[in-house]
Amino acid sequence: MLETMNRILDFSLGAVLLTKEKIQKVADECVKRGELGRAEAERLVCELTRKGEEGRARLSEMVRDEVRKIVDDLGLATKKDLADLEARLRQ
């Protein structure tokens, strides 16, 4: 299950990077057509890339929250649960 969630996160990260490339390409085309100045295009790329990264961070947190809920719902032992059990066994 954790591996699947990691794959989802990796895919999301890939989507963010692809989006940045597409944004850069569109911005470059706008500059060539004279619709945007170079500085304006770079600001646009930076702003949209930043928003994409913020979205990735929010998505990552949402996925982690869902995984925690699933683990709780299934009653699976967490690393902390196992560490606590090991500590009790050592005593």
> What does the angle CA 73 – CA 75 – CA 79 come to, to the nearest 5 degrees?
115
What global pTM score does this model have?
0.55
The CA–CA distances, whole Å, from 49 to 33, 86, 87 equal 22, 45, 46
Q: How far apart are CA 10 and CA 14, in angstroms?
A: 6
* pLDDT for residue 84 is more than 60: yes
The gap from C-alpha 64 to its chain's centroid, in whole angstroms, comes to 11
Q: What is the pLDDT of residues 11-41, one digit of tens each?
A: 556 656 667 788 788 889 888 988 889 998 8
Report which of residues 3 and 73 the model is more confident about. 73
Local confidence band at 9 (pLDDT 50, 70, 90 cut-offs): low
Q: What is the C-alpha to C-alpha distance for residues 7 and 28, in angstroms, rounded to an integer?
A: 31
Confidence of residue 48 (pLDDT cuts 50, 70, 90): confident
User: Is the model's pLDDT at 58 over the cut of 90?
Assistant: no
